[in-house]
Structure 1
């Protein structure tokens, strides 16, 4: 049951990210996907992978270790995406020589 809820929340986070980033600038897309990775994907997807690995190996500590490593990895990816989006400069229009 818990794995189903985590899977559902992960899929909903991806759908939410696609919906929020549709038709926006690259800067806004980077910020949106960074937040989606940090808040919606990192905790729940790492939980799914950690629990599945722990069940497969038969050791809860191994599953917990995988869960922590994946959470940190996905959180850092989200943090980097958000930072790139925040510090990205907007390009001026092509015909702005006035």
Structure 2
């Protein structure tokens, strides 16, 4: 049987804050053991084996951002042009002045 860790110890092992550990637990990504009394606020403890499984599940083999650029569907340069929105207003203003 693996040793039970407190939330602070488990957070240290995962190199996260206790708040982030609680968020992972609440979303169901990380298992925990309730050693508290029934009907009261839970006292959470974490098994070392569950933390090791979590680390293994979250481990990535390759970074998806380093893939070959040959497979990209979008161009790397922008084809957008800068539009001067003040020019039509200036023309309208000058046209009103000349009509007066």
- Please give the TM-score of this superposition, normalised by the length of structure 2: 0.30
**Which structure carries more helix by proportion?**
1
Please identify the structure whose Cα radius of gyration is greater: 2
- Please give the TM-score of this superposition, normalised by the length of structure 1: 0.30
**Which structure carries more strand by proportion?**
2
Higher relative contact order at CA 8 Å, sep ≥6: structure 1 or structure 2?
A: 1
